[in-house]
Chain A
Amino acid sequence: MSIRLFLPQDTTACALGANEVASALLAAAAERDMDIELVRNGSRGMFWLEPMLEVEEDHQRHAFGPLTTDDVDLLLRCLLDDLSVHPRYLGPTEAIPYLQQQQRLTFARAGIGDPLCLDTYTRLGGFKGLQRALQMDGQQIVDEVKSSGLRGRGGAAFPAGIKWQTVLDAQSAKGQKYIVCNADEGDSGTFADRLLMEADPYQLIEGMLIAGLAVGATRGFIYLRSEYPRAFKILQQAIERAEQAGYLGADICGSGKTFELEVRLGAGAYICGEETSLLDSLEGKRGMVRAKPPLPAIEGLFGQPTVVNNVLTLAAVTTVMAEGADYYQNYGMGRSRGTLSVQLAGNIQRGGLIELAFGATLRQVVEEFGGGTFSGRPVRAIQVGGPLGAYLPQQHWDTPLDYEAFAAIKAMLGHGGIVVFDDTVDMADQARFAMEFCAVESCGKCTPCRIGSVRGVEVIDKVRANVERDNNLILLRDLCDTMEAGSLCAMGGMTPYPVRSALDYFADDFQR
């Protein structure tokens, strides 16, 4: 009987050498005439252990990692004898504390099997939510999502059920509504969407199907950033297989309902993660931000009622529908219900994906899961929520991961990205970069963002060169106020967050 091994095909695993380990493994096994079956799964999200190999033995998975090609020979010998003697042996995968201490709902299946295997997906509970949705009418599905308390995971945290209700109630002049998945995961420090699409793509497809049934939309688009070529290939194949199996197309599971899905690539514009800019881009235009109203839910893609949701929001819907709103609602705190997929990144010992009920503190995540910095130096600043999120000093690390708690300290949870910096960071550099990034990525439609960001870089340069420093610091704050109050979208409106937090909490760095 052949031995089943699992080695991820995930971007980060491959960036750390998974393909080289896979080739070495297959070659060494062939040389020894060993019968092995190598499954290229998704990642479990414990990136510091990648490439992480798993072995299935007596229905239990055992992990080894991080592996290099040098570990392969001994590994094959251990497979025939005693697994635990290998220096890279990590024990049963499910017992690794990093994984065991999570509350995985959305990422429960991630890393278990071949991401494209439909049998694996259904065996692990996939399409259960869809089957239930097929028995319900649109309003019932929307009510279920509403009572789950699910809020948009892309950053704005708008209640998903209310958005869906608006689209359900909207009349389309052309009789066409759309579901658009925002997979333009451009925030630095975030990779949960990518991980999910590479590890469990059918979950996203199922979520979009449910959304289509709920609001009466028959067409869907996944707008994927072009920086994710691996996710693109996996999604394309997953869509094709789902079509062949009757989950997508003219007659979903024999229900007579239609849903067609297409994945589209962006072209390297951060702003296209903003939903209205994304819609313009999908229509084949420059990705310019639209003024709201009209809301995309009423006049969205090609002017028709459109649900625009993040990957993780649509994925979470499958749990809500499969297990019921109450089940989902039981996780979390306050108005933040369910789980948050924290992405631990930057200068961190144990970086990766940590799915937890809302309410854990930043410190718990960074210290207990992350194990401190990669460099071994003290943590100085933590940026939460991507390039538009505030840099938080130690005094705020006990803030619970909750949308309202973060808003109260003028920060934001956003998409759950946490980027850790050690004490070598120059916060004036980081403030300057925030403005520079805004200047590079602004769509250019509104003046405070387009010009304010350029002026922001110049003013910070003057502060650092000690040219009328005090006056220029006042000017910088003034500029931040103008950008926040006068910009059309979050790009110009929130670039002041990282800048002000650097000024407020790390003032010394501007006085050198």
Chain B
Amino acid sequence: MALSATQTATIASLIEAEAHRQGPLLPILHAVQQALGYIPADAVPTIAKALNLSRAEVHGVISFYHEFRTEPGGQTTVQVCRAEACQARGSRALEAHAKQALGLEYGETSADGSVTLEAVYCLGNCACGPSLRIADEVYARVDAGRFDQLLSRITGRGDAV
């Protein structure tokens, strides 16, 4: 899918804003993803040219990091912590419930585009797990009931998606 004129302009201005930094690639990718929700494939040649890198190098960086996405995600991203401290408090049950309630596997987005489910390895809330992150908010001691409650808030419905 070709970039819209607005997207092209946004990407150009973000590159310009970040290019003065030492090692500007990650800051640029973060900025593009924050502005557009993802890093479109067509942004890669533009970024590569601006930084005098090959397209393969830019693609390689995007694909290395779990956080960068090359396709639009859902309106809200829900991350379930899979790391050990949360496992000790029941995160395996929470992750099974989350997948079932949303009908999604990790990395998938709901058909209506409202929610993307992701795995995360540690949110730094290890004393009060299981932990969940929705957008930039972390939630502690999340069990199945609490998950449904939080989910209904983002989907605007009482039941699961």
Chain A residues near B (Cβ < 8 Å): 11-12, 14-16, 47-48, 50, 185-191, 194, 226-230, 262, 264-270, 281-287, 302, 343-348, 351-352, 374, 383, 387, 417, 419-422, 425, 429-430, 433, 437, 440-441, 443
* B80–chain A nearest beta-carbon distance, Å: 13
Known A-B contacts A191-B125, A268-B65; A15 and B84 likewise in contact (beta carbons under 8 Å): no
A14 and B137 contacting across the interface, CB-CB below 8 Å: yes
Known A-B contacts A284-B24, A284-B25; A345 and B127 likewise in contact (beta carbons under 8 Å): yes
Complex Cα gap A344–B136 (Å):
24
B120 at the interface (CB under 8 A from A): yes
Complex Cα gap A374–B84 (Å):
15
A268 and B125 contacting across the interface, CB-CB below 8 Å: no
Q: Interface code B28-57, partner A: CB below 8 Å = 1, 0 otherwise?
A: 011000000000000000000001000001
B120 and A346 contacting across the interface, CB-CB below 8 Å: no
The 8 closest A-B pairs by CB, nearest first: A351-B127, A284-B25, A188-B83, A346-B88, A345-B126, A267-B65, A268-B67, A15-B140
Give every chain B residue within 8 A of A351 (Cβ-Cβ).
126-128
B120 and A227 contacting across the interface, CB-CB below 8 Å: yes
Most buried by A among B67, B68, B88: B88
A48 and B127 contacting across the interface, CB-CB below 8 Å: yes
* B55–chain A nearest beta-carbon distance, Å: 14
Give every chain A residue within 8 A of B121 (Cβ-Cβ).
186, 188, 270, 437, 440-441
* B54–chain A nearest beta-carbon distance, Å: 12
Q: Interface code B132-161, partner A: CB below 8 Å = 1, 0 otherwise?
A: 010011111100000000000000000000
Complex Cα gap A429–B121 (Å):
16
Q: Chain B: how many interface residues by the 8 Å CB criterion?
A: 44
B124 at the interface (CB under 8 A from A): yes
A264 and B128 contacting across the interface, CB-CB below 8 Å: no
The residue of chain A having its C-beta at the shortest distance from the C-beta of B133 within the complex is A227
B126 and A343 contacting across the interface, CB-CB below 8 Å: yes
The residue of chain B having its C-beta at the shortest distance from the C-beta of A443 within the complex is B64
* B151–chain A nearest beta-carbon distance, Å: 16
Give every chain B residue within 8 A of A226 (Cβ-Cβ).
30, 67
The residue of chain B having its C-beta at the shortest distance from the C-beta of A422 within the complex is B88
Give every chain B residue within 8 A of A262 (Cβ-Cβ).
21
* B20–chain A nearest beta-carbon distance, Å: 11
B85 at the interface (CB under 8 A from A): yes
Complex Cα gap A352–B128 (Å):
9
Complex Cα gap A69–B45 (Å):
52
Q: Pick the contact of A286 from B51, B64, B120 — CB < 8 Å?
A: B64
B89 and A15 contacting across the interface, CB-CB below 8 Å: no
Give every chain B residue within 8 A of A190 (Cβ-Cβ).
122, 124, 126
Complex Cα gap A430–B20 (Å):
45
B110 at the interface (CB under 8 A from A): no
B30 and A374 contacting across the interface, CB-CB below 8 Å: no
A286 and B84 contacting across the interface, CB-CB below 8 Å: no
Complex Cα gap A270–B119 (Å):
13
Complex Cα gap A264–B89 (Å):
32
Q: Interface code B57-100, partner A: CB below 8 Å = 1, 0 otherwise?
A: 10011001111100000000000000111111100100000000
Give every chain B residue within 8 A of A188 (Cβ-Cβ).
83-86, 121-122, 126
B120 and A16 contacting across the interface, CB-CB below 8 Å: no
B12 at the interface (CB under 8 A from A): no
* B46–chain A nearest beta-carbon distance, Å: 16
